[in-house]
């Protein structure tokens, strides 16, 4: 099969980690008989430098005409006046918001799984970690505070900033359905996170989620306030299966979840629309302080590519092979700097990509040998 992938390397470490994901995808194609064709697209700071805007109409159109999108990272040092001393809609991250909206990517899926091999890198105590944890954070991605009306102006002689948090029942219902569908394939538990004791939007969120839950009698639904959820993630992460939440809460909680997996460099992400189309990216940022040093962890991007194989291309076997290769490399003790500990073997970004790619298809060799 042939697949057309729009690739957005982006800024900072983006080009480095995207290069390793492509290396792994190419090995998958070679082993399993697929061809992945890549079309590079500029977005973020690099697009601002080239075109004066973080996302051009042409770039968005290229993404729309692809089978999926693979993204590295966008943005830079907030102190970089070249990109940030401008109107908000011209900053690098505005491109990310624009492409999510333009592609209708309303459902963000972020798995957070603790590999046994990385238990030492987890900042939580061993008695809290227990047997580990395996959760998925389902974040609504195109509504809420990030997309509401905003302005800054002088009111009665005082500079005043306003950001508007808005949700309608249809936006809530469609993300809830996605969360319950995923829960049905996992441990059948949804924790809906809101701030219903304060916010009208959260009270509507809770009501709509309860309506959706009626169509999934096998799934256990619980509600949790966002501040409590933030505490529970570090007190008892193993209790969670699928966390369903709105845009800003999901942004914060998924970053917290990433750190208890050992490093934000381990957390993959898929942003989906109502079809199988998706944009796949690591949850971390562009890390400009380490860009070009060949020390960034590419695993989150590689695992994001595995999610693309599974969710957009229905290549479950190939996705599993990538995930197994990552796990095998970790079992063998290879680590990038962010997850390195004593008795392990420190490797560079490119070396980690090579190691993972080399192990793609090994399971086929083992199966053939057993026969």
- Which two structure tokens, joined as six digits, stand for 340? 């390195």
Using the structure block, give the residue that is written with the tokens 């059948």: 188
The DSSP H or E segment spanning 205 is: helix 200-213
Which position among 115, 194, 195, 311 bears the catalytic label? 195
Q: Name the packing angle between helices 92-102 and 57-64 (round to 10°).
A: 40
172, 244 contact by CB (below 8 A): no
59, 9 contact by CB (below 8 A): no
The DSSP H or E segment spanning 39 is: strand 35-40
146 given a catalytic annotation = yes
Separation of alpha carbons 367 and 307, rounded Å: 24
The gap from C-alpha 159 to its chain's centroid, in whole angstroms, comes to 35
Q: Reduced to 3 states, what is the DSSP secondary structure of residue 221? A: strand
3 given a catalytic annotation = no
CA distances 343 to 122, 126, 200, 346, Å, are 16, 19, 52, 9
Which position among 11, 194, 251, 338 bears the catalytic label? 251
Which position among 163, 215, 227, 314 bears the catalytic label? 227
255 given a catalytic annotation = yes
Separation of alpha carbons 330 and 315, rounded Å: 23
The DSSP H or E segment spanning 250 is: helix 247-260
74, 15 contact by CB (below 8 A): no
The DSSP H or E segment spanning 207 is: helix 200-213
Which position among 26, 77, 181, 255 bears the catalytic label? 255
Q: What string of DSSP letters covers 126-159?
A: HHHHTT--EEEEEEE-SSGGGTS-EEEEEETTEE
Separation of alpha carbons 371 and 368, rounded Å: 5
Q: Reduced to 3 states, what is the DSSP secondary structure of residue 354? A: helix
Which position among 23, 27, 67, 146 bears the catalytic label? 146
Q: Which residues of 245-278 are buried (b: 16+ CB within 10 A; e: fewer)?
A: bbbbbbbebbbbbbbbbbbbbbbbbbbbbeeebb
- Residues in the chain, total: 371
Q: Annotated catalytic sites, by residue?
A: 146, 195, 227, 251, 255
């Amino acid at each position: 099969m042939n697949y057309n992938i729009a690739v957005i390397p982006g800024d900072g470490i983006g080009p480095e980690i995207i290069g390793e994901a492509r290396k792994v995808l190419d090995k998958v194609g070679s082993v399993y008989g697929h061809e992945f064709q890549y079309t590079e697209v500029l977005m973020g700071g690099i697009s601002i430098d080239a075109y004066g805007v973080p996302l051009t109409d042409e770039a968005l159109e290229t993404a729309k005409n692809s089978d999926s999108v693979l993204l590295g990272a966008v943005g830079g040092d907030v102190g970089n006046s070249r990109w940030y001393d401008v109107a908000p809609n011209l900053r690098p991250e505005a491109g990310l918001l624009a492409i999510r909206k333009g592609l209708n990517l309303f459902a963000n899926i972020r798995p957070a799984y603790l590999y046994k091999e990385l238990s030492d890198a987890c900042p939580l105590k061993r008695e809290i970690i227990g047997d580990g944890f395996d959760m998925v954070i389902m974040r609504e991605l195109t509504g809420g505070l990030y997309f509401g009306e905003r302005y800054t102006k002088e009111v009665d002689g005082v500079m005043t900033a306003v950001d508007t948090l808005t949700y309608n029942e249809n936006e809530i219902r469609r993300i809830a359905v996605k969360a319950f569908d995923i829960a049905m394939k996992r441990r059948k538990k949804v924790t809906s996170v809101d701030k219903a004791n304060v916010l009208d939007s959260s009270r509507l969120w809770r009501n709509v989620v309860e309506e959706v839950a009626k169509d999934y009698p096998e799934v256990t639904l619980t509600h949790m306030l966002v501040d409590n959820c933030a505490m529970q993630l570090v007190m008892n992460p193993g209790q969670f299966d699928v966390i369903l939440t709105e845009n800003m809460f999901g942004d914060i909680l998924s970053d917290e979840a990433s750190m208890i997996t050992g490093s934000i460099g381990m957390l993959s992400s898929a942003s989906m629309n109502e079809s199988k189309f998706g944009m796949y990216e690591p949850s971390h940022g562009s890390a400009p302080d380490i860009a070009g040093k060949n020390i960034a962890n590419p695993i989150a991007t590689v695992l994001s590519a595995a999610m693309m194989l599974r969710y957009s291309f229905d290549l479950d076997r190939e996705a599993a092979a990538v995930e197994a290769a990552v796990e095998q490399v970790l079992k063998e003790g290879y680590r990038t700097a962010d997850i390195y500990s004593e008795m392990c073997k420190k490797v560079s970004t490119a070396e980690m990509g090579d190691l993972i790619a080399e192990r793609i298809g090994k399971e086929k060799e083992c199966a053939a040998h057993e026969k």
